[in-house]
Copies of this chain bind each other. A is one copy, B any other.
């Protein structure tokens, strides 16, 4: 039982999904992780320029919700990378549908590479 369970808005699966990733930044972070970004600095350097405190907080939340793991990949200096779990990777179809909607309805949006739009959750970085 996660912290959110104390304040459930309802049992609706859409609402419960949104209570994890239905904010301004979380799906952007998941997009970047699926696109191969791994470190804090890589994530912070996206064109949308997420504030660093917000990035740190969202990463902690995503780890607490098991959408990603924080893994040390180097000692001296200790360096960490953020790796999606299956639960995190399985947000890909949501991202793909939002991307399709954006391309169809918001003019001037760039078209994601085909590998992104065609990928299955299991094949993602």
Contact = CB atoms under 8 A, between A and B. Distances in A.
A36 interface: no
**Interface size of A as a range:** 35 or more
* Interface SS, A side: helix
Number of identical monomers bound together in the oligomeric complex: 2
Given A24-B23, A97-B93, A106 B16 contact: yes
Contacts of A56: none
Interface of A: 9-18, 20, 22-24, 27-28, 31, 46-49, 87, 90-91, 93-106, 108-112
A106 B28 contact: no
Given A101-B90, A108-B11, A109-B11, A27 B16 contact: no
